[in-house]
């Protein structure tokens, strides 16, 4: 069997399981979505928002990009934020980074990654603002860890400047996920 076919088999098994548990599961879910959370995370396959938070379809509105970058000039992200705030009326926005983030590590090098450089430059800008603290790190690993944290905090700070968030009671959170133990840690 081709590996892609397995996805359809697994999907059928999953859907059947849901219906067995609750006959109207999909009918109810199709009527509306009322998620309390907007998750802004990394695209990394090891950090799937719903899986690591044990949340179900309908519970979390999700935006993921390389290294969970928050750029208020990013029309993709900002459309997600606007929709989540104005229409879905989420109560919390979570920016979640993760240690061992390849995007962060790449941005800390001087290597070129082709078209991705435009994206990585957004992270390099944040790194520049913390150059003294980063220079004090004793290893590349420590530097990367610090940068993951700075990037999350910068993301939350940028969201604070967004008008529709300022005018709301939405709570902002900055978290880091640790690939080594599967645990989320609060930063801000």
The residues that touch Co ion, with contacts defined as CB under 5 A, are 42, 44, 101, 103
Task: Tell me the C-alpha distance between 66 and 163, whole Å.
Answer: 25
Tokens 């999909």, residue located: 26
Residues 63, 96, 101, 173: which is the catalytic one? 101
Nearest approach in angstroms of CB 18 to Co ion is 30
Please, which residue, 69 or 165, has the CB nearer to Co ion? 69
Task: Tell me the C-alpha distance between 188 and 92, whole Å.
Answer: 13
Nearest approach in angstroms of CB 84 to Co ion is 21
Instruction: Identify the burial level of 184 via C-beta atoms within 10 angstroms of its C-beta, where 0-12 means exposed, 13-18 middle and 19 or more buried.
Output: middle
* Exposure on the CB side of residue 169, measured as CA atoms within 13 A: 2
Task: Tell me the C-alpha distance between 68 and 66, whole Å.
Answer: 6
Report DSSP letters for 28-64, one per residue. Answer: HHHH----SEEEEEE--TT--HHHHHTPPTTSEEEEE
Q: Is 96 a catalytic residue?
A: no
Please, which residue, 101 or 108, has the CB nearer to Co ion? 101
Please, which residue, 170 or 175, has the CB nearer to Co ion? 175
Residues 36, 46, 117, 171: which is the catalytic one? 46
Nearest approach in angstroms of CB 25 to Co ion is 32
Q: Is 137 a catalytic residue?
A: no
Residues 36, 64, 74, 98: which is the catalytic one? 98
Please, which residue, 149 or 165, has the CB nearer to Co ion? 149
Please, which residue, 38 or 144, has the CB nearer to Co ion? 144
Q: Is 42 a catalytic residue?
A: yes
Nearest approach in angstroms of CB 42 to Co ion is 3
Partnered with residue 64 across adjacent β-strands are: 41
Partnered with residue 38 across adjacent β-strands are: 61, 93
Nearest approach in angstroms of CB 68 to Co ion is 7
Radius of gyration of the chain (CA): 18
Residues annotated as part of the active site:
42, 44, 46, 98, 101
């Amino acid at each position: 069997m081709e590996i892609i076919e397995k996805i359809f088999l697994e999907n059928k098994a999953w859907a059947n399981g849901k219906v067995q548990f609750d006959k109207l599961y999909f009918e109810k879910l199709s009527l509306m979505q009322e998620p309390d959370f907007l998750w802004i995370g990394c695209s990394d396959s090891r950090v799937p928002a719903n899986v690591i938070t044990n949340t179900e379809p309908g519970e979390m509105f999700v935006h993921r990009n390389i290294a969970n970058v928050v750029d208020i000039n990013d029309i993709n992200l900002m459309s997600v934020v606007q929709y989540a705030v104005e229409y879905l009326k989420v109560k919390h926005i979570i920016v979640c980074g993760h240690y061992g983030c390849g995007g962060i590590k790449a941005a800390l090098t001087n290597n070129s990654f082709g078209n991705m450089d435009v994206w990585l430059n957004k992270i390099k800008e944040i790194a520049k603002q913390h150059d003294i603290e980063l220079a004090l790190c004793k290893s590349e690993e420590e530097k990367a860890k610090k940068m993951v944290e700075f990037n999350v905090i910068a993301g939350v700070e940028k969201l604070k400047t967004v008008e529709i968030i300022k005018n709301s009671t939405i709570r902002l959170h900055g978290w880091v996920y640790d690939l080594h133990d599967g645990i989320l840690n609060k930063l801000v």
